[in-house]
Amino acid sequence: MNKESSQRTAFIIFRILGIIVVSILLWILGFIIYNGMGVISWEFLTAAPAEGMTAGGIFPAIVGTLCLVAGSMIFAFPVGVMSAIYTNEYAGNGWIVKFIRVMTNNLGSIPSIVFGLFGMSLFVNTLGFGDSILAGSLTLGLLALPIVIRTTEEALKAVPSSYRTGSRALGASKLQTISRVILPAAFPNITTGLILSIGRVSGETAPILFTVAAYFLPKLPTGIFDQVMALPYHLYVIATSGTDIEASRPVAYGTALVLIAIVLLMNLLAAFLRRHFSNKWRAER
Amino acid sequence: MIEAKNIDFYYGSFHALKNISMTMEAHTVTAFIGPSGCGKSTFLRLFNRMNDLIDGIRLTGECLVQGANIYGKSVQVDELRKTVGMVFQKPNPFPKSIFENVAYGLRVNNLGDKKFIAQQVEESLIAAALWDEVKDKLKKSAFELSGGQQQRLCIARALAVSPAVLLMDEPASALDPISTSKIEELIHQLKKDYTIVIVTHNMQQAARVSDKTGFFMLGELVEFSETKKMFLNPEKKQTQNYITGRFG
Ligand SMILES: Nc1ncnc2c1ncn2[C@@H]1O[C@H](COP(=O)(O)OP(=O)(O)OP(=O)(O)O)[C@@H](O)[C@H]1O
Ligand SMILES: [Mg+2]
């Protein structure tokens, strides 16, 4: 084969593979929308489950998932961003930093059920938070931490070092340089990390299983020590152990659709924020 | 004004500057020339202590700016960097508006109120010969400027904190000929108010803009004299070879 035709063949193979991947994704999405669309109604989105979770709505689970996402981000985002700032801007390149990096990556590859067990042992029992939004959020936050740290580090690395020297040469301190130049420049990419971890966190079942999730709890939470229902766990429950699994099947698809919609919405919001902030000062690379 | 006495400088075990002494008068332009890697930038960065940001450096000797030892114990480095400004080889504006770029040094050093900052920004842009080109778009991103304009913006940014000394490390080497001559023109203007030290690879540029020239080689200051004398009648054979292009 000559150069030209091998190039063309490779291109065709890549294209076919790309099309296959996209079609699978679209198929899943279409499947969920097709099966779930039927039950989506105003009542479904705003009422509590009824009749053994075969009817009614999923409002408490929506609220629960939003609480857990918010709670875990309130914990994971500042901690993750700050530790990435530490390793990237302050700690130099010694063995401590390398060790922290390896550990962070390892933390990211631990199965989420292990986080669940750990969260139950530490937050629920040892610290005595009980099954609560607090315990669940912290557990999910731990799960999200490696993602936040890694994406923030990448974002900081992508900031040209000439900004740092330029700022220091004007008499700015290291902290001023970070807060006034480095972080704003890295912000669009840091947002990506936030969104990725929100997507991850909102879909996880295992970490909330032993730390917060309620099987059936129509009442909305009133504080951080309350239990809540959550979309992924609710989906799991009605798909496997409801009172009438067949009858609740449409509800399951509806729940899946809502979960996907929430994650997609967050991604859209992120994309918008990213665009907005990077357009503002079109960074040259 | 600026005085270096018996400077020896090391990157780890690498001896980058060897026993250098040199005096630079106020309101003059001093040019550093020499082959790549001979230590020009290293020597320049001593005077605003930018080398401090690099790990594993060691320095002996004395560095005086306006009579004070800038490596003394009581010296506040951030204060020093206000007195001794720097312009880098590649224009490095921040991802901020034109106005905020120039105001940056004032803001981080808590200098002046809103009115003072606005006035200082305007004066600095005028001094950097950029005002007429940007006065209608101060709120626009600095990245919308051309490379040459960006470099003059960086000069304005350095001037805004009212330094006494301006260090320039090959400030025109990334620019086209027209932008380069604008920068050179500017250096002539700025000499009235500032003491300028410039590193350049361009012999003609050194000859055009500087009063005195230092020729460096392998970490040593080979020759330091009036620019005219240096280019017409250098004392050392090495200098002669370098400026006539017979180096190597
Ligand atoms: N951060 C650093 N760490 C270790 N060695 C360095 C560092 N910076 C420069 N050096 C070394 O010190 C010597 C002088 O470097 P310097 O950058 O001062 O040269 P220069 O004369 O400015 O060269 P150029 O004309 O290419 O800019 C070089 O041999 C270089 O390899
Ligand atoms: Mg250099």
CATH number at residue B25: 3.40.50.300
* pLDDT for B248: 44
Q: What is the mean pLDDT of residues A177-198?
A: 90
| Residue of chain B nearest A173, judged by CA positions | B78
Query: Closest Cα of chain A to B133: distance in Å?
Result: 19
- How many C-beta atoms lie closer than 10 Å to residue B188's C-beta? 12
- Domain hosting B50: range is 2-243
Cβ distance of A165 and B53 shorter than 8 Å: yes
Q: What is the mean pLDDT of residues A260-281?
A: 79
The secondary structure of A55-94, three-state, reads EECCHHHHHHHHHHHHHHHHHHHHHHHHHHHHHHHHCCCC
Smallest Cα–Cα separation from A219: which of A48, A44, A42? Answer: A48
Domains and CATH numbers, chain A: 65-284 (1.10.3720.10)
* pLDDT for A246: 80
Q: What are phi and psi of B19, to 5 degrees?
A: 45, 65
Give the ipTM.
0.91
The token duo for A54 is 């075969």
Binned at pLDDT 50, 70 and 90, residue A1 comes out as: low
Q: Strand B212-217 and strand B220-226: pairing?
A: antiparallel
> Which residue out of B82, B104, B138, B165 would a mutagenesis test of the A interface target, given it has the greatest number of A Cβ atoms within 10 Å?
B104
Task: Kindly report, residue by residue over A54-87, the tens digit of the pLDDT.
Answer: 778 899 999 999 999 999 999 999 999 999 999 9
Percentage, residues of chain A above pLDDT 90? 57
Please, are residues B35 and B12 in contact by the beta-carbon 8 Å criterion?
no
Tell whether the model's pLDDT for residue A220 goes beyond 70. yes
| Residue of chain B nearest A91, judged by CA positions | B55
The secondary structure of B77-132, three-state, reads HHHHHHHEEEECCCCCCCCCEHHHHHHHHHHHCCCCCHHHHHHHHHHHHHHCCCHH
Smallest Cα–Cα separation from B166: which of B204, B196, B133? Answer: B196
Tell whether the model's pLDDT for residue A281 goes beyond 60. no
Please, are residues B90 and B82 in contact by the beta-carbon 8 Å criterion?
no
* pLDDT for B175: 85
Q: What is the mean pLDDT of residues A3-32?
A: 93
The tens-digit pLDDT sequence of chain B (248 residues) is 899 999 999 999 999 999 999 999 999 999 999 999 999 999 999 999 999 999 899 999 999 999 899 999 889 999 999 999 999 999 999 999 999 999 999 999 988 899 999 999 999 999 999 999 999 999 999 999 999 999 999 999 999 999 999 999 999 988 888 889 989 999 999 999 999 999 999 889 999 999 999 999 999 999 999 999 999 999 999 999 898 876 54
Residue B217 domain-assigned? yes
Tell whether the model's pLDDT for residue A48 goes beyond 80. yes
User: Distance between CA atoms of B60 and A130, rounded to whole angstroms?
Assistant: 62
Long-range contacts of A267-273 (CB under 8 A, 24+ apart): A267/A195, A267/A199, A269/A195, A270/A191, A270/A192, A270/A194, A270/A195, A273/A188, A273/A191
The token duo for B115 is 């009115």
Please, are residues B166 and B85 in contact by the beta-carbon 8 Å criterion?
yes
Q: Which residues of A touch B79 (CB under 8 A)?
A: 171
Q: What is the mean pLDDT of residues A26-43?
A: 92
Which of A88-97, A166-175, A201-210 is predicted with the least confidence, judged by mean pLDDT? A88-97
List pocket residues of ligand 1, CB cut-off 6 Å.
B 11, 14, 16, 34, 36-42, 54
Tell whether the model's pLDDT for residue A216 goes beyond 90. no
**Strand runs labelled E in chain A:** 49-50, 55-56
Q: Strand B57-65 and strand B68-69: pairing?
A: antiparallel
Type of residue found at B234: P
Protein residue closest via CA to atom 25 of ligand 1: B36
CA distances from A167 to B104, B166, B181 (A): 8, 15, 26
Q: What are phi and psi of B200, to 5 degrees?
A: -150, 150
Interface residue ranges in chain B relative to chain A, Cβ cutoff 8 Å: 48, 50, 53, 55, 78-79, 81-82, 85-86, 88, 90, 92-97, 104-105, 107-109, 141-144, 154, 157-158, 161
User: Distance between CA atoms of B152 and B166, rounded to whole angstroms?
Assistant: 13
Q: Which residues of A touch B166 (CB under 8 A)?
A: none
* pLDDT for A285: 39
| Residue of chain A nearest B106, judged by CA positions | A170
Residue B248 domain-assigned? no
Percentage, residues of chain A above pLDDT 70? 96
SS3 B214: strand
Tell whether the model's pLDDT for residue A153 goes beyond 80. yes
* pLDDT for B16: 95
pTM of the model: 0.85
Domain count within chain B? 1
Alpha carbon B217 to chain centroid, angstroms: 19
Binned at pLDDT 50, 70 and 90, residue A242 comes out as: low
Type of residue found at B141: S
Residue B137 domain-assigned? yes
The mean predicted confidence, pLDDT, of chain A is 89
Q: Which of B11, B20, B47, B51 to mutate to test the pocket of ligand 1 (most atoms within 8 A of CB)?
A: B11
* pLDDT for B52: 93
* pLDDT for A188: 86
The token duo for B2 is 């600026």
Q: What is the DSSP letter of A211?
A: T
Q: Strand B29-33 and strand B212-217: pairing?
A: parallel
- How many C-beta atoms lie closer than 10 Å to residue A110's C-beta? 13
